[in-house]
Structure 1
C-alpha cells in the first residue's frame, strides 16, 4: 500500500532534521523509497509553504527555521518550561552541571528544557529538542524501569537497533545488558549511566510523575564529565535530584501539556 502524501511529507521533514547541511534530491528519494519526480513535487510543495529551501549554490534541500519556530512557540504557550525552569535553574546552580528535563511523548523521551550549571572548564551542553536514546541513557533507564522488562525491550526495539559502537565503553550491546540498569533504577529510585552515552560522561535521572495518575510525564537528569561526576559526588547529588523531581511532580498539573501527556499515555496502554 502506497504511503499517503502526509506520511511522505513527514518523512521528508524527519529525514532533513537528521541532515542539517541538506541532502540532494536523489538521496531524499532513495531514502524514502519514492520516485525522483514524486520527491521533487513534494519538496516543491514544502518549499512553497516555507518548510524547505533549496540552496542555490549546491542544489541541496534543507529545512528552514519555520518548523523549529513553531515548536518553540508551542513550548512557550503550553507553559511547561515556565513551570519547570526555576527548579532546573536551582538544581543546576547547586550541582554545577547540566540539568535537563525530558517529557514523555508517546513512546519517546524528548528533551525540552535545560539549565547549565558548569560555568567554566569541561561542559556538556547539547541542544534541547533531541530524543533520549533508550538503551544507554540515565533518562531512559529511569523511565523504562517503570515498565516490565518485556515492555521496556519493546520500547527500545521500536526506536531502532542498538549501536553500541557509537557510544561509551559501558554502553549495553544487547537487550539483556540493559536490564541490570533498569533493575538498579527500580531498587534505588533513579537511573544511572556512567560512560554509556559518551566516553567520560556520567548522568543520573529521576522520574517526574503526575500526582493524580502516578504515571511518568517527564524525567529530570543531571549530567557531566565523569572526572567531576564521580560515584561519590553522584551519591551527594541524588537526594537533591529526587527532591527537585518530586517538586516538579507536585506542580506538574499547572501545565496542561504535562497533564495531557499523562492522559495520552494512559489511553495508549
Structure 2
C-alpha cells in the first residue's frame, strides 16, 4: 500500500467519525501499524486536514476537506443546473428529493431538496458526497436497470450485494436472483422502487437521468413508507420523469456531470 493510499484510508475512516478516533482504533480499522498511523496523522495535522481533539486525545478531521468539497460543488454549477428543478419536484411531491451523479463506477449523492415542512418526514441529514449503495437503494437500482444484467452484476460485485457501511432493511435484495428480478420489474414499470430496503420504514422511487442516450445521474423521491404507497408513487411518476428529462436537457451544457464525458 502506497503512502497516498494509507493517508486516504485514514481520511475516509475519519470522515465517518466526526467525533474522532484514537490512534489504536484507527490502526485497527485501516489495518496499519500504530506507529505508521501516528506519523501519517502528524503529517495530516501539519497540512491542516486533521486535528487532535485535545492533548493526547483522539484525532478528527478539520473542516478543510469539507470546505474543499463544498467549494468544488459550488464551482461546478450543479445548483444552477438542477436545484430549481429539485425544489419544484419537492414542492409537488412534499417529500425528499435527491440527485446523484455517476462518477466512474460510483453513484454519488450531490444535491437535495426537502418538500415536507412538518410532521412525519424522511430527512437523513447531509448525504451530499455519500457513495450510494447500488443494490439496496432506489437510485442505485434505477441506474443498474438502465444497463444490461451483465454490467449491473459486475458493478454490484465490485461494491457488494450487502451494504458494508450500514445495515439494510428486510426489503433489500438478499440474493443475485432477487436483485435481477427487481431490475426486470424496474424496467417494466419505468422507475425503481425500494421499500424498507435502504432504511427501515422508508420508501423511495427513482429514475435515471438520460443524456445522449445514456444515464448520467439518478433522481429520486423518498419519504415515509406510510405515505409513499404504490398508488402515490404512480401519481408522482410523471412528475419525476418530467424533472429527470429537464435535468438531462440542462446537463448537456454543464461540465459537472461526469457521465457526459466521452471515454478516452
TMscore range, shorter length: over 0.9
Corresponding residue for residue 90 of structure 1: 88
CA separation of 1:228 and 1:239: change in aligned 2, threshold 3 A: same
Correspondence list, 1:146-165, <5 A: 146-160=146-160, 162-163=162-163
1:163 Cα deviation (Å)?
4.9
Could you tell me which residue of structure 2 aligns to residue 6 of structure 1?
4
1:20 aligns with 2:21: no
Aligned in 2, Cα 1:93/1:231: closer, same or farther, shift over 3 Å? same
Provide the C-alpha distance between the structure 1 equivalents of 2:138 and 2:80, rounded to a whole number of angstroms: 24
Question: Partner of 1:134 in structure 2?
Answer: 134
3-state SS of the aligned residue for 2:122?
coil
Contact 2:135 2:161 in 1 (8 A): no
After the TM superposition, which parts of structure 1 deviate over 4 Å for at least 4 consecutive aligned residues?
none
TM-score, normalised on structure 2?
A: 0.93
TM-score of the superposed pair, with normalisation by structure 1: 0.92
Task: Report the equivalent of 1:175.
Answer: 176
Q: Is the 8 A contact 1:163 1:173 kept in 2?
A: no
**Aligned to 1:257, what secondary structure does the other structure show?**
coil
Query: How large is the RMSD of aligned CA atoms in angstroms?
Result: 1.7
2:115 alignment counterpart: 117
> What's 2:216 paired with?
217
Specify which of 60, 79, 82 is matched with residue 81 of structure 1. Answer: 79
What secondary structure sits across from 1:122 in the alignment? Answer: coil
Deviation at 1:160, TM superposition (A): 3.4
Deviates more, 1:121-130 or 1:235-244: 121-130
Conserved in 1, the CA contact under 8 Å of 2:107 and 2:131? yes
Q: Which residue of 2 is the match for residue 252 of structure 1?
A: 251
Whole-angstrom CA distance in 1 between matches of 2:163 and 2:245? 33
**Structure 2 vs 1, CA of residues 100 and 14 (structure 1 numbering), >3 Å: closer, same or farther?**
same
1:56 equivalenced with 2:48 (yes/no): no
Question: Conserved in 1, the CA contact under 8 Å of 2:195 and 2:203?
Answer: yes
Which secondary structure does the structure 1 equivalent of 2:205 belong to?
Answer: strand
Distance in 2 of aligned mates of 1:114 and 1:253:
20
CA contact (8 A) 2:146 2:208 kept: no
Deviation at 1:57, TM superposition (A): 5.7
Q: Does the residue aligned with 1:71 lie in a helix, a strand or coil?
A: helix
1:229 matched residue in structure 2: 228
State how far apart, in whole Å, the 1-side matches of 2:89 and 2:169 are: 26
1:191 corresponds to: 192
Per the alignment, do residues 163 and 85 of structure 1 end up closer, same or farther by CA in structure 2, a change over 3 Å counting? closer
What secondary structure does 2:82 align onto? helix
> Given that residues 162 and 174 in structure 1 are in contact (C-alpha distance below 8 angstroms), is that contact kept between their aligned partners in structure 2?
no
Of residues 165-174 and 155-164 in structure 1, the stretch that sits farther from structure 2 once superposed is 155-164
CA distance in 2, matches of 1:99, 1:45: 39
